[in-house]
Structure 1
Amino acid sequence: MRVKQITPVFVEFIPEQIESGKLYISDEYEIAIHKCCCGCGEEVVTPLSPVDWRYTITSHGVSLFPSIGNWKYRCKSHYFIQDNGVLWAKGMSPAQIQRVEQQDLSDKQRYIRERNEQHNTFDLFRLIASVWNRVKRFFGFKS
């Protein structure tokens, strides 16, 4: 039976038994999990990160985005969790699913590349600052 409402449950550890109609969220381990809202019983794992899923909390409830596309499951269900409700989306063709998966992979690769560039830039600035401080100390300049 399709789930129409979902109840957020904030946990540190994901329980062994996942109940239908509940969205278990672990901020500590940056993951959310729920049973597929179509009623098939599959467990849907959604990693929480800037390039995977994110959730928001408002006075109306919890929303998880982007959509949940269970392409690897037999049901191939596709839905949004918005304000504790389940909003069903249209099905997608295999070609559409492939494009979405390719875009997701491309987004993740770009994010990692940008983070690495930021990290390398930060390391360069830290190195320059360290060398500059040594030069100042060598010549007796006060910081």
Structure 2
Amino acid sequence: MKRPFKIRHEFVEFIPKEREDGVLYVSIAYATAVHNCFCGCRTKVVTPISPVGWQLTYDGEAVTLWPSVGNWAFPCRSHYLIKRDTVVWAGDMSEDEIAWGRARDKAARATHFHGRPGAVPELEVQTGTPQRKKGLWT
């Protein structure tokens, strides 16, 4: 697995067209954070900040973006957390785990925006709760 590494954050009103690698651009005005994928492929990664999207915290020194960023639609399939201006790599996820996470996120958005608690969408892959792969920490 790749080693964690430091990035820097920059608060901006508008996200620049030309983004610098290793920088997380945060627009409070537009409730979004954008960066070039931290794997090095330079793909633009957009993370909307909302109660049912990503949460961003700033402690006066560093930013944390939660939950993890899973670039499953990109060829690199990189997956990482941004914790206190540090990229911490996370493991790959199976297609079943990705489908389960997407369904969970869709249900959270439906509840938040349409007030339909329990509006759980059907999964394309009916697997129940995904089984995590055994990794270094388990």
The interval holding the TM-score normalised by the smaller chain is 0.7 to 0.9
Q: Give the secondary structure class of the aligned counterpart of 1:104.
A: helix
CA distance in 1, matches of 2:82, 2:72: 17
Q: Which is richer in helix?
A: 1
Indicate if the aligned counterparts of 2:4 and 2:89 stay in contact, CA closer than 8 A: no
Aligned length: 115
Q: How does 1:1-143 map to 2 (within 5 A)?
A: 4-59=5-60, 61-114=62-115
Amino acid at match of 2:37: C
Unaligned stretches of 5+ in structure 2? 117-138
TM-score after normalising by structure 2: 0.78
Q: Is residue 69–residue 79 contact of structure 2 (8 Å, CA) maintained in 1?
A: yes
Distance in 1, matches of 2:11 and 2:60, equals 16
- Higher gyration radius (CA): 1
Q: TM-score, normalised by structure 1?
A: 0.75
CA deviation map 1:76-129 (0-9, x unaligned): 1110000000111110011111111111111110111239xxxxxxxxxxxxxx
Question: 2:80 corresponds to which letter in structure 1?
Answer: Y
Return 5+ residue gaps in structure 1 as ranges: 116-143
Deviations 1:14-42 (A, max 9, x none): 11101110000000011110011111110
Give the CA RMSD over aligned residues. 1.9
> Contact 1:25–1:33 at 8 Å: present in 2 too?
yes
Identity %: 43
